[in-house]
Amino acid sequence: MRSYLPDSPYINMGPLFIGQTVIFVSKEPKLKQMFLSLRTSPQVVLLGARIWKTLLSRQGVLNYAKLSSVTLVQGELVRGLTMMTPQTASMLQRHPTHLSLLLQQKSKCTNLLG
């Protein structure tokens, strides 16, 4: 274990690794696998973690694990934007004259300031 630390970003944490210490290293947070390993080894206690260059306490790791996945959040965003598209189109079709006047006014203001 100690032979890994000098060439890693965890070198400053060396004094914390005394006795039997386990460190999980992964390019992406794989919390489900980590929690599964911790459950099968009750003698190992989670103290904290470094996730995406942020140090988290045990409670921070547990809270992070409860967050939705990035793909799920992206799907919700796309769904929300898709639902807004017809509304935008109908708003643009309802008042084209008003929109035209607003765009002309914006153009005049831009020309006066610029």
Q: How many of the other CB atoms lie within 10 Å of CB of 49?
A: 19
Residue 77 sits at the vertex; the CA angle it makes with 86 and 67, to the nearest 5 degrees, is 155
- Which tens digits make up the pLDDT trace of 26-42? 777 788 888 888 888 87
Q: Write down the pLDDT at residue 114.
A: 64
Q: What pLDDT score was predicted for residue 56? A: 86
- Who's near 45: CB < 8 A, 6+ residues apart? none
pLDDT in tens, 31-79: 888 888 888 887 888 888 888 888 888 898 889 888 888 889 899 999 9
C-alpha–C-alpha distance, residues 98 and 86, integer Å: 19
